[in-house]
């Protein structure tokens, strides 16, 4: 019932294209599979290759609400799942004081009063006072949603363990209310930058998609789509330079989002060609470390082709 | 097909990719859904369900074509079809005059036929392919099989043949054509052999029985470990680390209830008209910073390797690690760990510092450290030495250890040598001991794990 309207990966791919997301066959196929199998999708890859963007695009393509949970160190259940709204509970007890006295009137012993009060306990631990956090919201939503759990590798190991119940059975246990099952199974996308190993248990429950830096043609297509004002020639030159920079051993290689920022900057500056001056002034949009910047500047100034230095790479070069 | 997939999964497992039962079930679901018509889609479906680690993707990509390949290596062309009857005659004569050992080879290449299954099986038998169960021997085995059908002598044979043909007066152009055709056929054959060896080895990998658990290896002293035991331990470091991590994280979480934090409490209770309903506590747990100095001389190698592996697998529980390795001089080895798996990094460090006779010299190593890297040490940092304190009668530089001790939060020494040997021969352990806050005897991996658990708290 929660499966979306696309019958084939190709249809999904076109729909993503309409959301201005250029998906490769691999991305479309695996995303399609993840939906058909009702399995969460774990997306890994270098920073800035469009992992989060993918979740947004799929939400747009299926016209579902996107619920986002940004992970960070120290994130716990009360911020991810639910919290009782203590202040509101307190307020209600104050306001309902008269009513309470009425309920308890005519009772003489303490234990009897406690019993009577216990009957009304449900009022205070009901949905009314439950503050829904992203996970609970995704589970209880009336309509199917897309749940994005962003940068899961930043959260603690125990939070990961806590996610397991949500991801495999799509249900949440709340001690006071019992187990809440999902009305619609959400489409779950987890992203990770691989700053630490995720647990096997979590990986087992997900499908795995690794997004690599795009090829020249793919990246060019993205730039042409997102920054149509940039002339075709200039766009190609710019993307070629970025691709060359990526091959170098920088502390942080420029990502697609940085390429886009740069392309936009070139438009704003009315640049007609990539001359040295333009490059020197705008290069800081691509490279964010002073060392990298200086090295790149030096290399461009000498106008020597950037050497393919041996690269200490977090990610496999090619697959 | 299902049988093939099961074999594939078992080959993946035996090549070190962890695939659980649930994941293989997913793979079958996915394939039922996507079908097997499109090879690329089929590959993606398998990959996304079976491989959850980008380090394992190359392994998958290597094995996949061996199980689900086209099985159709390129067919060579018939050399003879472009020749005129005269030229055919010439070729036949030339071949006749060639030495026997070259003639067999050229005869085989002439038609451009592939090797039959029986021939391949025979070759495999001859070269002992059935005993190989590691992919890294693939190229070697292919070469041996090529050698045994004489493919390696092709250049020589061709040269001899062309010489004869030249003498008989064949056109130059025709000769070159012939040569190219022979070479193309040879390439097709070697491609077929490569494919065959790959498939065979993959099958043998998939048929290996799963390794039995060896608990006893944890208890075995470092000096008694064989390379094979180390393989087992290396694989297990990850599991140990996750065990440690859970323990550490829990401890850290529980420890949050430190002192009351009045400022934060007031801030949080503004909405309750400053009635302190929610109490806030100070979170004083800081993740440790470490400087680790490892002796990687032959006697200490395994211990140091496991120590580094464990520490780097636990990086998320540590705020910063500076790792150094020494034999006769200190080297900063942290950069090796960026972008590699821990095992690759350690291997590279060991390749850079090969075993052999070395003059272990902690004293001058410490001097290098204090001169070049002393800024890595501050009052929050724990300084760890993994070594046996045997200095080959060099100056132990106790003064430097004292200096380090005064600056660091604590100085911990892990020594795999039994305490009664400390101070004997060239051991300076007892002199160093006075400046250690903690001196632990780590005989085996269990001890090491316990030691790390202790120092990260």
CB-based contacts of A55, cutoff 8 Å, min separation 6: A66, A68, A146, A148, A150, A189, A191
**Do A160 and A152 meet the contact criterion of CB atoms below 8 Å apart?**
yes
- DSSP code of residue A65: E
Does residue B260 form part of some domain? Answer: no
Pick from B391, B219, B367: nearest CA to B297? B391
Helix-helix angle B398-407:B362-373, to 10 degrees: 40
Does residue B42 form part of some domain? Answer: yes
Which residue of B41, B48, B242 is in closest CB contact with A209?
Answer: B48
Do B97 and B63 lie in one domain? The reply is no
Q: Is A69 helix (H, G, I), strand (E, B) or coil?
A: strand
Q: Is A258 helix (H, G, I), strand (E, B) or coil?
A: helix
CA distances from B452 to A102, A134, B244, B333 (A): 62, 37, 9, 19
Of B43, B68, B93, the last residue of a domain is B68
Q: Is B422 left (phi over 0), alpha (psi -120 to 50) or beta?
A: beta
Do B125 and B23 lie in one domain? The reply is no
- C-alpha B401: how far from its chain's center? 35
Q: In terms of CA atoms, which chain A residue is nearest residue B34?
A: A33
Q: What pLDDT score does B257 carry? A: 55
Does residue B108 form part of some domain? Answer: yes
What would you measure as the largest C-alpha separation in chain B, in angstroms? 111
Q: Is A275 helix (H, G, I), strand (E, B) or coil?
A: coil
Do B328 and B419 lie in one domain? The reply is yes
Q: How far apart are the C-alpha atoms of B447 and B221, rounded to whole Å?
A: 10
Do B92 and B34 lie in one domain? The reply is no
Report CA torsion sign: B19, B22, B26, B27. positive
Residue B333, chain A, CB below 8 Å: the answer is no
The pLDDT tens digits along chain B (457 residues) read 788 888 888 888 888 788 888 899 999 989 888 888 888 889 889 999 999 888 788 888 888 888 887 656 556 666 666 677 777 777 777 777 776 667 777 777 777 677 777 888 888 888 878 777 777 888 888 888 888 877 777 777 778 777 877 777 777 787 788 788 888 888 888 888 888 888 888 888 877 776 555 566 777 777 777 777 777 777 777 777 777 777 777 777 666 556 788 888 888 888 887 788 888 877 656 678 889 998 888 778 788 888 888 888 777 778 888 888 888 788 888 888 876 777 778 788 878 877 666 678 888 889 999 998 888 898 888 899 988 888 888 888 899 999 999 999 889 998 988 888 888 888 888 889 999 998 888 888 888 888 888 877 6
Q: Is A118 helix (H, G, I), strand (E, B) or coil?
A: helix
User: Who has greater pLDDT, A315 or B45?
Assistant: B45
The alpha-carbon gap from B57 to the nearest alpha carbon of chain A, in Å, equals: 7
Q: What pLDDT score does B72 carry? A: 61
User: Who has greater pLDDT, B425 or A250?
Assistant: B425
Total domain count, chain B: 3
Residue B22, chain A, CB below 8 Å: the answer is yes
* H/E element, A242: helix A232-246
- Quick count: other Cβ atoms within 10 Å of Cβ B286? 9
* End-to-end CA, chain A: 36
Q: What pLDDT score does A189 carry? A: 93
Which residue of B30, B58, B250 is in closest CB contact with A319?
Answer: B58
Contact state of B335 with A312 under an 8 Å Cβ cutoff = yes
pLDDT band at residue A274 under the 50/70/90 scheme: confident
Q: How far apart are the C-alpha atoms of A282 and A277, rounded to whole Å?
A: 9
Q: What pLDDT score does A139 carry? A: 87
Residue B212, chain A, CB below 8 Å: the answer is no
Do B38 and B88 lie in one domain? The reply is no
Q: How far apart are the C-alpha atoms of B330 and B364, rounded to whole Å?
A: 8
Do B136 and B94 lie in one domain? The reply is yes
Percent of chain A scoring above 90 in pLDDT: 14
* H/E element, A161: helix A157-169
CA distances from B333 to B113, B330, B349 (A): 54, 9, 7
Contact state of B246 with A9 under an 8 Å Cβ cutoff = no
Which residue of A207, A315, A316 is in closest CB contact with B48?
Answer: A207
Do B157 and B248 lie in one domain? The reply is no
Q: What pLDDT score does A317 carry? A: 45
Q: State mean pLDDT over A274-292.
A: 82
Q: How far apart are the C-alpha atoms of B237 and B341, rounded to whole Å?
A: 12
- Select the residue from B35, B54, B309 to test the A interface by mutation, using most A Cβ atoms within 10 A: B54
How many residues does this entry show for chain B? 457
Does residue B403 form part of some domain? Answer: yes
Instruction: Say which range, A63-77, A142-156, A264-278, B376-390, has the weakest mean pLDDT.
Output: A264-278
pLDDT band at residue A193 under the 50/70/90 scheme: confident
Does residue B203 form part of some domain? Answer: yes
Do B177 and B250 lie in one domain? The reply is no
* Chain A residues in contact with B313 (beta carbon < 8 A): 197
Do B16 and B95 lie in one domain? The reply is no
Contact state of A29 with B45 under an 8 Å Cβ cutoff = yes
Residue B75, chain A, CB below 8 Å: the answer is no
* H/E element, A100: helix A97-104
Domain of B11 in residue numbering reads as 2-68
Do B424 and B356 lie in one domain? The reply is yes
pLDDT band at residue A302 under the 50/70/90 scheme: low
φ, ψ of residue A191 in degrees (nearest 5): -120, 150
* H/E element, A166: helix A157-169
Q: How far apart are the C-alpha atoms of A248 and A188, rounded to whole Å?
A: 35
Q: Within 13 Å of residue B190, how many CA atoms lie on the same side as its CB?
A: 21
HEC sequence for chain B = CHHHHHHHHHHHHHCCCCCCHHHHHHHHHHHHHHCCCCHHHHHHHHHHHHCCCHHHHHHHHHHHHHHHCCCCCCCCCCHHHHCCHHHHHHHHHHHHHCCHHHHHHHHHHHHCCCCCHHHHHHHHHHHCHHHCCCHHHHHHHHHHHHHHCCHHHHHHHHHHHHHHHHHHCCCHHHHHHHHHHHHHHHHHHHHHHHHHHHHHHHHHHHHCCCCCCCCHHHHCCHHHCCHHHHHHHHHHHHHHHHHHHHHHHHHHHHCCCCCECHHHHHHHCHHHCCCCCCCCECCCCCCCEEEEEEECCCCCHHHHHHHHHHHHHCHHHCCEEEEEEECCCEEECHHHHCCCCHHHHHHHHHHHCCCCCCCCCHHHHHHHHHHHHHHHCCCCEEEEEECCCECCCCCCCHHHHHHHHHHCCEEEEEECCCHHHCCCCCECHHHHHCCCCEEEECCCHHHHHHHHHHHCC
Q: What pLDDT score does A209 carry? A: 92
Contact state of A157 with B48 under an 8 Å Cβ cutoff = no
Q: What pLDDT score does B339 carry? A: 67
Q: How far apart are the C-alpha atoms of A256 and A51, rounded to whole Å?
A: 11
Percent of chain A scoring above 70 in pLDDT: 93
Do B115 and B16 lie in one domain? The reply is no
pLDDT band at residue A312 under the 50/70/90 scheme: very low
* H/E element, A271: none
pLDDT band at residue A286 under the 50/70/90 scheme: confident
Is pLDDT of A72 > 90?
no
**Do A231 and A269 meet the contact criterion of CB atoms below 8 Å apart?**
no
Q: What pLDDT score does B107 carry? A: 73
Q: Is A267 exposed, middle or buried (0-12, 13-18, 19+ CB in 10 A)?
A: middle
Which residues in A71-182 belong to E strands, given as ranges? Answer: 82-84, 130-132, 145-150, 171-174, 178-181
Q: What is the CATH number of the domain that holds B402?
A: 3.40.50.410
Q: What pLDDT score does A4 carry? A: 61
* H/E element, A195: none
Q: How far apart are the C-alpha atoms of B91 and B80, rounded to whole Å?
A: 9
Do B189 and B297 lie in one domain? The reply is no
Q: What pLDDT score does A188 carry? A: 92
The alpha-carbon gap from B137 to the nearest alpha carbon of chain A, in Å, equals: 21
Is pLDDT of A310 > 50?
no
Helix-helix angle B138-148:B117-127, to 10 degrees: 110
Residue B316, chain A, CB below 8 Å: the answer is yes
Residue B52, chain A, CB below 8 Å: the answer is yes
Is pLDDT of A318 > 50?
no
Which residue of B18, B238, B245 is in closest CB contact with A157?
Answer: B245
Is pLDDT of A61 > 80?
yes
Does residue B266 form part of some domain? Answer: no
Which residue of B20, B51, B277 is in closest CB contact with A208?
Answer: B51
Q: How far apart are the C-alpha atoms of B356 and B21, rounded to whole Å?
A: 45
**Do A171 and A130 meet the contact criterion of CB atoms below 8 Å apart?**
no
**Beta carbon pairs, A and B, within 8 Å:** 91
pLDDT band at residue A148 under the 50/70/90 scheme: very high
Does residue B422 form part of some domain? Answer: yes
Which residue of B49, B58, B316 is in closest CB contact with A196?
Answer: B316
Does residue B268 form part of some domain? Answer: no
Q: What pLDDT score does B258 carry? A: 65
The alpha-carbon gap from A142 to the nearest alpha carbon of chain B, in Å, equals: 28
Contact state of A37 with B30 under an 8 Å Cβ cutoff = yes
Residue B315, chain A, CB below 8 Å: the answer is yes
Residue B187, chain A, CB below 8 Å: the answer is no
User: Who has greater pLDDT, B60 or A176?
Assistant: B60
């Amino acid at each position: 019932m929660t499966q979306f309207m696309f019958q084939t990966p190709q249809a999904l791919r076109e729909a993503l294209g309409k959301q201005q997301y250029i998906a490769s066959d691999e991305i479309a196929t695996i995303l399609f599979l993840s939906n058909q199998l009702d399995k969460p999708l774990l997306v890994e890859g270098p920073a800035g290759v469009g992992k989060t963007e993918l979740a947004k695009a799929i939400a747009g393509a299926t016209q579902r609400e996107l619920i986002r949970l940004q992970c960070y160190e120290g994130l716990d259940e009360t911020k991810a799942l639910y919290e009782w709204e203590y202040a509101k509970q307190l307020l209600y007890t104050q306001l309902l004081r008269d009513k309470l006295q009425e309920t308890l009137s005519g009772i003489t012993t303490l234990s009897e009063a406690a019993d009577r009060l216990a009957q009304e306990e449900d009022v205070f631990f009901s949905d009314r006072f439950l503050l829904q956090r992203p996970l609970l919201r995704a589970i209880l939503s009336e309509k199917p949603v897309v749940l994005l759990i962003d940068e899961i590798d930043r959260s603690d190991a125990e939070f990961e363990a806590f996610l397991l119940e949500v991801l495999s059975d799509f249900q949440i246990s709340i001690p006071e209310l019992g187990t809440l099952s999902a009305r619609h199974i959400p489409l779950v996308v987890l992203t990770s930058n691989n700053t630490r190993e995720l647990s096997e248990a979590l990986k087992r429950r997900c499908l795995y998609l690794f997004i690599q830096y795009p090829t020249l043609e793919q990246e060019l297509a993205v730039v042409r789509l997102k920054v149509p004002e940039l002339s075709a020639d200039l766009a190609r030159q710019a993307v070629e330079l970025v691709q060359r920079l990526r091959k170098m051993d920088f502390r942080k290689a420029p990502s697609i989002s940085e390429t886009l920022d740069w392309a936009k900057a070139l438009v704003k500056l009315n640049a007609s060609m990539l001359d040295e001056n333009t490059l020197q002034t705008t290069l800081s949009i691509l490279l964010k470390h002073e060392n990298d910047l200086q090295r790149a500047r030096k290399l461009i100034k000498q106008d020597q082709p950037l050497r393919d230095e041996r690269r200490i790479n977090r990610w496999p070069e090619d697959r | 097909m299902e049988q093939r997939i099961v074999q594939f999964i078992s080959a993946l497992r035996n090549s070190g990719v962890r695939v659980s039962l649930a994941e293989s079930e997913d793979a079958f679901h996915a394939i039922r859904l996507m079908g097997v018509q499109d090879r690329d889609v089929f590959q993606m479906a398998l990959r996304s369900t079976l491989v959850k680690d980008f380090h394992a993707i190359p392994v998958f990509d290597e094995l996949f074509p061996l199980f689900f390949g086209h099985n159709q290596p390129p067919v060579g062309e018939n050399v003879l079809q472009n020749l005129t009857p005269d030229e055919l005659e010439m070729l036949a004569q030339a071949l006749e005059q060639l030495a026997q050992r070259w003639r067999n080879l050229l005869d085989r290449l002439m038609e451009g036929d592939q090797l039959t299954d029986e021939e391949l099986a025979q070759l495999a038998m001859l070269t002992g392919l059935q005993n190989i169960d590691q992919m890294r021997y693939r190229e070697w085995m292919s070469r041996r099989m090529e050698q045994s059908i004489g493919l390696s002598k092709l250049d020589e044979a061709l040269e001899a043949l062309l010489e004869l043909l030249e003498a008989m007066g064949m056109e130059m152009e025709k000769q070159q054509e012939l040569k190219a055709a022979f070479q193309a056929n040879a390439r097709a054959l070697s491609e077929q052999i490569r494919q065959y060896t790959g498939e065979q080895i993959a099958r043998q990998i998939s048929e290996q029985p799963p390794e039995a658990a060896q608990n006893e290896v944890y208890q075995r002293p470092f000096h008694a470990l064989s390379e094979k035991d180390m393989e087992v331990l290396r694989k297990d470091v990850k599991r140990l680390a996750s065990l440690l991590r859970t323990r550490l994280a829990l401890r850290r979480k529980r420890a949050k209830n430190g002192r009351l934090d009045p400022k934060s409490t007031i801030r949080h209770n503004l909405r309750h008209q400053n009635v302190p309903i929610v109490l806030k506590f100070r979170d004083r747990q800081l993740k440790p910073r470490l400087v680790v100095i490892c002796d990687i001389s032959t006697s200490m190698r395994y211990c140091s390797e496991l120590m580094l592996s464990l520490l780097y697998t636990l990086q998320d529980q540590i705020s910063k690690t500076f790792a150094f390795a020494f034999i006769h001089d200190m080297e900063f080895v942290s950069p090796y760990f960026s972008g590699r798996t821990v095992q690759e990094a350690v291997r590279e460090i060991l390749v850079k510092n090969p075993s052999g006779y070395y003059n272990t010299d902690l004293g001058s190593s410490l001097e290098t450290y204090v001169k070049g890297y002393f800024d890595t040490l501050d009052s929050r940092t724990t300084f760890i030495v993994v070594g046996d304190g045997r200095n080959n009668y060099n100056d132990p530089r106790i003064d430097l250890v004292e200096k380090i001790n005064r600056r660091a939060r604590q100085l911990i020494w892990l020594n795999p040598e039994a305490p009664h040997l400390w101070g004997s021969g060239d051991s300076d352990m007892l002199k160093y001991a006075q400046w250690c806050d903690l001196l632990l005897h780590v005989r085996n991996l269990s001890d090491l794990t316990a030691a790390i658990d202790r120092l990260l708290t």
